[in-house]
Amino acid sequence: MIKFFLMVNKQGQTRLSRYYEHVEIHKRTMLEAEVIKNCLSRSKEQCSFIEYKDFKLVYRQYAALFIVVGINETENEMAVYELIHNFVEVLDRYFSRVEKWYVMLNDQEVNDNSHYHLTKTNTHLSFFFQSELDVSFPIMFNLDRVHIILDEMVLNGCIVETNKNRILAPLFVLDKMAES
């Protein structure tokens, strides 16, 4: 059972949060702060699973972006760990379509070709996730899309869909409607 899903940048700002169990708003900020502190304090050689209070955190770092998932005892840590990656891959696939548009838009800000090369060398991860800058921009600008993707994948704390085509299908339909 997944309890919450967080996307945080290295500065500790929450980019996206989704709770599958009711947590009061003021408690959320506290929880997020502590969770981030816990994750940030860990080195890359250390285990990606943390026991925190009565649940476990599974986190994965993509350049400047952390994705942290809180799960309970019954969940399989490794499966969640891979789910995060799957999620990122889905984001990658979706945003790779709008990448050009995005780069044009933010030409001034992301005018750094070295990062672009990184994208070329690592086919798995998109440009954005490789950048060392705080490039959760695409996520920030398209937060609604990210939410839709997440909702397709995780529902009521359960992993419901992992097939990339199927996850993105409704989104593409939406985009098509928006275009026409």
Partner 1 sequence: MALTVVSQIFPREMIPAVLPLIEDKLQHSKEIIRRKAVQALYKFYLIAPNQVQHIHDKFRKALCDRDVGVMAASLHIYLQMIKKNASGYKDLTESFVSILKQVVGGKLPIDFNYHSVPAPWLQIQLLRILGLLGKDDPRTSELMYDVLDESLRRAEINHNITYAILFECVQTIYTICPKSDLLEKAAKCIGKFVLSPKINLKYLGLKALTYVIQQDPNLALQHQMTIIECLDHPDPIIKRETLELLYRITNGQNVTVIVQKMLDYLRQSKEEYTIINLTGKIAELVEKYAPDNEWFIQTMNAVFSVGGDVMHPDIPNNFLRLLAEGFDDEKEDEELRLYAVQSYLSLLEEEDTFYPQKFLQVMSWVLGEYSYLINDGDPEVIITRLHRLLKQTFVTSETKAWIMTAVTKMSSRMSCSKTVDKLIQEFSTSLDTCMRQYAFELKHLCENKELMKNLFPLDASCDEIMVDASLSFLDGFVAEGLSCGAAPYKPHHQRQEEKLSQEKALNFEPYGLSFTSNMSSSGFTGRQSPAGLSLGSDMSGNSAELGQKETNCLKLDGVRKLWGKEGYLPKKENKTGKEDKTQPVPQDSILTAHVVDPPLMQSEQQVVSLSEEEKEKQQLASTLFVGLGSNSTISLMGRADIITQKLKKKSKISETQNSEEASSFQNIATLPFSPLPDTTPNNKENFQGNEHLGLRKISLSSSEVLEASVSFETSQSVTEVGLDEQLSNCRLSTSSLFADSNIEVFQPPQNVPDIVANKAPLSLCLPEELAGHPHSEIVELCSSDILTVYWCKVWTDDCSRLVLFVANNSTSPLKTVNLVFESAEHFKIFESLSCHFPVIEAQSMESCQKCVQLEKVCTEGVLSGSISYHLDTDTHLEFSLTFSLSDFIRPMKMTTEDFGRLWLSFSNDVKQNLKMSPSQGSLSIALNALKQKLKLHIVEIIGNEGIAACRLLPSVPCLLHCRTHARTLALWFRSSCSALPDSLLYQCQKVMEEA
Mask for 139-158, x = binds partner 1 (CB under 8 A): ------------xx--xx-x
Closest CB to partner 1 among residues 33, 155: 155
Is the Cβ–Cβ distance between 7 and 16 less than 8 Å? yes
Stretch that binds partner 1, among 9-17, 45-53, 91-99, 138-146 (CB under 8 A): 45-53
Alpha carbon distance 42, 46 (integer Å): 6
Q: Based on the shown chain and the rule CB under 8 A, indicate whether residue 29 belongs to the binding site for partner 1.
A: no
* CB neighbourhood size of 149 (10 A): 23
Of residues 47, 104, 177, 178, which one binds partner 1 by CB under 8 A?
Answer: 47
Biggest alpha carbon distance in the chain? 49
Pure H helices in the chain: 25-40, 77-105, 113-121, 127-130, 137-141, 143-153, 164-179
Of residues 12, 77, 98, 141, which one binds partner 1 by CB under 8 A?
Answer: 77
Q: How far is the CB of 108 from partner 1 (least distance, A)?
A: 36
Q: Based on the shown chain and the rule CB under 8 A, indicate whether residue 162 belongs to the binding site for partner 1.
A: yes
